[in-house]
Amino acid sequence: MRIHILGICGTFMAGIAQLAVELGHEVSGSDRQFAPPMSRLLECAGVRLYTGYDPEHLAPEIDLVLMGNVVMRGNPELEAAIDQGFSFDSGPAWLFREVLKSRRVIAVAGTHGKTTTTALLAHLMDQAGADPGFLIGGVPHNFPVSARLGQGRWFVIEADEYDTAFFDKRPKFLHYRPWILVLNNLEHDHADLYPDLASLEQVFHELVRAVPRAGRIVVNGQDQALSRVLERGLYTPLTRVLGGAEAWLAESLDPAGNRFRMDLAGRTLGPVTWGLSGEHNLANVLAALGAAEAAGVDPLRLGPALASFGGVARRLEIVATGRGITVYDDFAHHPTAIRATLGALRAGIGTDRVVAVFEPRSNSMKQGVHAARLKDAFRDADVTVVFNPGLTWKVEDAFDSHAQILDRADRILPALISILHPGDRVVFLSNGDFSGERERIYNGLRQHLLD
């Protein structure tokens, strides 16, 4: 079968493309632009890529068009596909029909930590010999791909609450029918779809209702929103982490959280030393261990697998070093995630100066939903550089006076070069690419740090 994907370079649809290739399909796809790391994975998979959306990309021999949720009515290639009578579907619906319905699914849901927890769980299951399939919304350093079929019983998936497609506004995760469900945390986000936290709690409970009685839910017992979700009705056994009676707990053994011990309801795991940092990542470890146990893996045997976990691209990933300066790329874009990322970095580096470079790009940020929380989120940064991509609310009011507000992404590199000095840690924070300038900025910094 020949499959063509619109919006193919998004993290989810790129995973769909890799799975389709592995199933033996010929795959092509279009997107507004292609950027690493997903573009590299697609090229390695042998996917034919088209830049921009053009009806000419729709070859007559295409059997199925899969629509990413970034493409909307009015998109010229989408309109041509409909007008010309191509069969079309969403990525989540195709995924369930072709892959998930014959597997036992472990879904990782929540506002923060989904990608890291999913990648960690896939790694743990793989190291335990389970050979899981997976689809991760990022590039895991322990695997050469972000999605694979695997030969085992289990399929691990990052379960996103964002909508499915232009013709199906349900959350993607309602398609997955998980046997094991991880609920990391829940905050208001995606304000373009969910007007308030209560509306998110509603769809999360719809997901909870789909988990069988023979399955398991692993839940953050400290999260009040998740507690309200479960109070609406619970039909599945629980493993609680962090809060509540008999909860699994984490103990950090150093300020950065690089060394830790776990108490798994009276069973001790550790000490473990690994390459990640921060209390938020210890919560991710507990969730992954709880899901692995529910899948039949002894968590007490997973210490070496935890130690060998390499993390995920764009999660405090070092992209440049030199002159005593380290540059990191991080996907954090919600105030809670930004605060956790900068806090973890601060705990590990002491008094070195932190320079945060932020792009408020998410739909919630565009609406100013989180503006009041940004000052606190950046409290561990000594200098904040903000790229304003044309927001309608007054960005200056959301930051302290030390922040530099730039209205053009091409001004970021010269601004940084003018202020950096040895010992600085520079952290780029965005779920986007700084209006296409991200790689150019990183290459410029690499050259500057080598000169």
Q: What is the mean pLDDT of the chain?
A: 94
CA distance 71 to 385: 31
pLDDT of residue 320: 93
Residue 435 banded pLDDT, cuts 50, 70, 90: confident
DSSP helix, strand, coil percent of the chain (3-state; round to 5) = 35, 25, 40
- Looking at per-residue pLDDT, the higher value among 245 and 158 belongs to 158
Quick one: which of 218, 204, 370, 348 has its CA closest to 285? 218
pLDDT grade for 222, boundaries at 50, 70 and 90: very high
Q: What is the largest CA-CA distance in the chain?
A: 62
pLDDT value, residue 246: 83
Residue 8 has pLDDT above 80, yes or no: yes
The residues of the chain that CATH labels 3.40.1190.10 are 99-307
The token pair at 110 is: 């929540």
Alpha-carbon distance of 194 to 134, in angstroms, equals: 27
**Predicted confidence (pLDDT) per residue in 102-140, tens digit:** 999 999 999 999 999 999 999 999 999 999 999 999 999
- Rounded to an integer, the average pLDDT of 408-434 is 93
* Tens-digit pLDDT profile for residues 296-323: 999 999 999 999 999 998 888 899 999 9
Backbone angles phi, psi at 342, to 5 degrees: -70, -35
Which residue, 257, 348, 335, 266, is CA-closest to 300? Answer: 266
How does pLDDT run across 331-350, given as a tens digit for each residue?
Answer: 888 898 999 899 989 988 88
Q: 66: Cβ–Cβ under 8 A, 6 or more apart, which residues?
A: 3, 4, 5, 6, 13, 16, 88, 89, 90, 91, 94
Residue 356 has pLDDT above 90, yes or no: yes
Closest CA relative to residue 91, chosen from 71, 62, 119: 71
Encode burial over 165-200: b for 16+ CB neighbours within 10 A, e otherwise. Answer: bbebebbbbbbbbbbbbbbbbbbbbbbebbeebeeb
The per-residue pLDDT for 163 is 96
The boundaries of every CATH 3.90.190.20 domain in the chain are 317-450
Instruction: Answer whether 203's CB lies under 8 Å from 171's CB.
Output: yes
434-440: long-range contacts at Cβ-Cβ below 8 A with a sequence spacing of 24 or more? Answer: 434/359, 434/387, 434/409, 435/387, 435/389, 435/409, 436/33, 436/35, 436/409, 437/409, 437/410, 437/412, 437/413, 438/35, 438/329, 439/35, 439/36, 440/410, 440/413
What percent of the chain lies above the pLDDT cut of 70? 100
Euclidean distance between CA atoms 255 and 349, whole angstroms: 10
The pLDDT confidence band at residue 386, using thresholds 50, 70 and 90, is very high
User: What per-residue confidence (pLDDT) applies to 365?
Assistant: 82
The residues, ordered by sequence, that sit 6+ positions from 271 with a Cβ below 8 Å of its Cβ are 253, 259, 260, 261
CA distance 98 to 95: 5
DSSP 198-247: HHHHHHHHHHHHTS-TTSEEEEETT-HHHHHHHHT---S-EEEESSSTT-
Q: How far apart are CA 187 and CA 197, in angstroms?
A: 6
Least confident of 178-182, 188-192, 257-261, 349-353: 188-192
CATH top-level class of 2-90: alpha beta
Portions of the chain given CATH number 3.40.50.720: 2-90
Which DSSP string do the residues of 379-423 spell out, in sequence order? TT-SEEEEE--S-SS-GGGGS-TTPEEES-GGGHHHHHHHH--TT
CATH number, span 99-307: 3.40.1190.10
CATH code for 317-450? 3.90.190.20
| Per-residue tokens: 393 | 């609310």
Report the C-alpha gap between 163 and 71 in whole angstroms.
12
pLDDT value, residue 80: 98
- Three-state DSSP class for residue 29: strand
Calpha distance 339→165 (Å, rounded): 31
* Distance in angstroms (rounded) separating the CA atoms of residues 383 and 379: 10
- Is the pLDDT reported for residue 428 higher than 90? yes
Please say if the pLDDT value at position 42 is more than 90: yes
pLDDT, residue 314, reads 85
- Inter-residue contact 287 to 220 (CB < 8 Å): yes
- Sorted by sequence, the CB contacts under 8 Å of residue 308 that are 6+ apart come out as 123, 127, 142
Distance, CA of 83 to CA of 448 (rounded, Å): 51
- Where does the pLDDT of residue 224 fall: very low under 50, low under 70, confident under 90, or very high at 90 and above? very high
Spatial distance between the Cα atoms of 74 and 321, rounded to a whole number of angstroms? 44
- Tell me whether residue 381 is exposed, middle or buried, using C-beta atoms within 10 angstroms of its C-beta: 0 to 12, 13 to 18, 19 or more: buried
Q: What is the pLDDT of residue 295?
A: 98
Residue that wins the pLDDT comparison between 23 and 372: 23
> What is the spatial distance between Cα 153 and Cα 412, in angstroms, rounded to a whole number?
47
Q: Is 344 helix (H, G, I), strand (E, B) or coil?
A: helix
